[in-house]
Amino acid sequence: MNITSKVNKLDGLKRSVVITVNKDEYLAAFSKDLNKYKSTVKIDGFRSGKVPEKIILKNYRDRIHGDALNKIIEASLKQSLESNKLETASPPQLSIDKEPSAENDLVFTAEFEIYPLFVIKNIEEIIIDVPEVIIDKDDIDAVISNIQKQNIKWEEKKDKAASGDKIIMEYEGLISGKEFDNNKHENFTFIIDDKINGDPATVGLYKEFYKNSIGEDINVEKSFSYKMPDDFLDKNIAGKTIDYKMKIKHIYKGDLPELNDEFYKKFGTENSSVDIFRENVKKHMNLELEQKIKSITSAAINEKLLDVNDFEIPTYMLQSEVKHITTQYQGMTQNLDDKIKLELDQIARKRVKLNLIYMKITEDNKITVSQDDVYDYISKSDPATQEQLATKVKEDKNYLNHIKNKVLEDAIMNLIESKCKKNKLQKKFSEVVN
């Protein structure tokens, strides 16, 4: 295509390219589209293919012009980007500077962002902390104890509530006598003194329920107040004191299952024994530990990659990721204050930057993901779901791309892990696997 183009550097990663397309290119495209209309258009009073050109132009000139113009712009922009070795990181914004005609060349401007040009810092110099764990007898005993607790048989009791009992209660919370979202629960269930993971406010509230349940009978009403932290996620109740009323409806005492042949068979194999059971437990612990260490290692690598590689990121990519994260976040709460918005911006910034780093590492090391790699990944998954995953990959292109991205990320992590320096830290199983 007969074109000329001039690239202009704007702020940051923004670029504009002014493209001039010879009028003959436009006239040829217009003539081609006009001939299509001549052969296909139907107008009352004329046979198909016999409509005079004058009539067609009278009725369809603007449409033919628009179609020809769009084709010329698309083709010439693609040619210009390729010849100038520009890869767009945002959709080009187009403006027509001079309309094409029999006398005038087409002149238009495209504005867009490009991907940043940067060099990945020496991977061999990256140092990461990696936990090293030897599973011992105490670790296995602790896991078996947890398995027992997960299989407690609960029986309702009439005695007062005690530590370790399961409680079903109802409660209502009011702020200055007024209700708020999710302020009440008819069948709130917990185990007294059970370990709770979560934000400090939630953990603190659970502890208040524990404290006010111990030594109490069913149907006895109790009251207490609890002040929510100023920085609590839900801004409707952040910093406010909530007055709670609670009443225990049921109390259950737990009976731990005995460690006997019946228990071992339930969680092992037929004709199981304590030794076989403990070996099975250890095998699952090793699998869980492997996945956890992999996750810790990947997180450490990502943080190092972000720390040592500094470059500008495209505004469009950042805004798109912020919008995506915000949409997900608003599913949990509608209250997005300035602090939360800043946090979401930082998360989005890290994600975009890391994605660009991955792209660069993939390009530099010529990493590819084939169909065989995808099915190899599936073959290493849970045997119970392999067939389902394989079917989903065949039928759902988006899911196929999702798996390809997972395989690609694993390949990148394996590459970096093989080259970087590792600082091994001796850890207990419980310190790594929470």
Question: Same domain, yes or no, for 100 and 211?
Answer: no
293 and 409 fall within a common domain: yes
Token pair listed for 298: 């990947």
Strand partners, 244: 173, 224
- Residue-wise pLDDT tens for the chain (434 aa)? 899 999 999 999 999 999 999 999 999 999 999 998 888 888 888 877 788 899 999 999 999 999 999 999 999 999 999 999 999 999 999 999 999 998 999 999 999 999 999 999 999 999 999 999 999 999 999 999 999 988 999 999 999 999 999 999 999 999 999 999 889 999 999 999 998 888 889 999 999 999 999 999 999 999 999 999 988 878 889 899 999 999 999 999 999 999 888 888 887 666 778 888 999 999 999 999 999 999 999 999 999 999 999 999 999 999 999 999 888 877 655 566 777 788 889 999 999 999 999 999 999 999 999 888 988 888 888 777 888 888 888 888 888 889 999 999 999 999 999 999 999 999 999 999 97
Please say which residue of 230, 255, 280 terminates a domain.
255
Q: What is the CATH number of the domain that holds 422?
A: 1.10.3120
Judgement on whether residues 281 and 425 belong to the same structural domain of the protein: yes
Query: How many domains is the chain partitioned into structurally?
Result: 3
Instruction: Give yes or no: residues 360 and 341 share one domain.
Output: yes
**Tokens at residue 114, please?**
């490009």
Residue at 121 is within a domain:
no
- Residue 64 domain-assigned (yes or no): yes
pLDDT value, residue 335:
63
Identify whether residues 388 and 303 lie together within a single domain: yes
Last residue of a domain, one of 191, 224, 255: 255
- 278 and 406: one domain? yes
> Are 142 and 231 a contacting pair, CB within 8 Å?
no
Same domain membership, residue 413 and residue 294:
yes
CATH code of residue 243: 3.10.50.40
- Residue 418 has a pLDDT of 94
The residue assigned the tokens 């149907």 is: 219
Same domain, yes or no: 313 and 417 = yes
Q: With helix as H, strand as E and coil as C, how does 266-289 read?
A: HHCCCCCCHHHHHHHHHHHHHHHH
Query: Is 418 within a domain?
Result: yes
pLDDT of residue 334: 57
Amino acid at 78: K
* 421, part of any domain: yes
Query: Are 7 and 64 part of one and the same domain?
Result: yes
pLDDT at 332: 58
Are 350 and 295 within one domain? yes
**Burial status of residue 379 (CB atoms within 10 A of its CB: 0-12, 13-18, 19 or more):** exposed
Q: Domain containing 233: what range?
A: 153-255
Same domain, 306 and 245: no
Residue 196 falls inside a structural domain? yes
Quick check: is 143 in a domain? no
Place of tokens 């309702």: 156
Same domain? 356 vs 236:
no
Domain boundary among 206, 224, 255: 255
Q: Please indicate, yes or no, if residue 219 is contained in any of the structural domains.
A: yes
> Domain containing 37 — which CATH number?
3.30.70.1050
Q: Are strands 106-113 and 166-174 parallel, antiparallel or unpaired?
A: unpaired
Beta carbons within 8 Å of 157's beta carbon, 6+ residues apart: 165, 251, 252, 253
Structure-derived torsion over alpha carbons of residues 34, 35, 41, 44, reported in degrees to the nearest 10 = 90
- Within a domain: residue 126? no
